[in-house]
Amino acid sequence: MQPSRLTRTLSVAAALLMLAGTARAEDLDRSDAWPSGAEAMAMREATRDEGAVVAWSALDPPALVEALRGGGLVLLMRHGQAVGSDRDPAPWRVTGDRRAQGNLTSTGKDQARLIGDGMRSLGIPVAKVIASPYYRARDFAEIAFRTKPVIAADLGPENPGQIEAYRRYLAAAPAGGNLVVVGHLLAPTSAQISQLKELADGHAAIYRPDGKGGKTLIALIAPADWARLVEAVPGG
């Protein structure tokens, strides 16, 4: 028997409540906790409320912007819209060959500008930008943040060390601003769902590391949401 609409709605609501709360101690102790099942469900099933400023947030817009301005967060971003494909059977070996890779479309470049313009208008500090060696990620980072990103070879989409790389970036809170990491599908969840792919091109997952290996997801933001935050936050 198919579950009723009310049942499905209550299930999603419960997942969001779990997501907004503090991560359980046992989840933080598990090496494979990436991210929680509640996070995966929320990313997969939650729909944007009518009039919502961002795709999802545990904080209201002013509090979210205040948290971002305060620094110490990690912004995991998927590159913007791209076309083409990685044609080499071991594509991380040809990261310097743009012709062998998918590259940003004009829409993907516009998504990068939306993010960068919005974050600068909001006064959100960026301490460091790290990107995959693939051009669609490094171009996206450079357009958005107007700087050459630090290239991290282990963020390549086919690199078997990708999961551990993301875990490492979330292991400690950055100092002097926020850390931006631009990659591809992001590490899979326990359900084998790639959270940023689920959220589509140019989306960001905003995490607050606790400095002890744990982290809390506080927001999911689409490229156009940054301009909505500027409008929603007084003085933004």
Domains of the chain: which residue ranges?
5-232
Q: Does the pLDDT of residue 156 top 70, yes or no?
A: yes
Report the candidate in 31, 160, 144, 20 with the shortest Cα–Cα distance to residue 78: 144
Residue pLDDT, tens place only, 102-120: 899 999 999 999 999 999 9
Confidence of residue 29 (pLDDT cuts 50, 70, 90): very low
Could you read off the pLDDT of 172-218 as tens digits, one per residue? 889 999 999 999 865 444 334 455 555 579 999 899 998 888 888 89
Instruction: Report the pLDDT averaged over residues 66-77.
Output: 96
Nearest alpha-carbon partner for 110 in 148, 82, 86, 85: 82
Strands 126-131 and 178-183: parallel
Q: Contact at 8 Å (CB) between 145 and 96?
A: no
Would you identify the CATH topology of the domain 5-232? Rossmann fold (3.40.50)
Distance from the Cα of residue 140 to its chain's centroid: 13
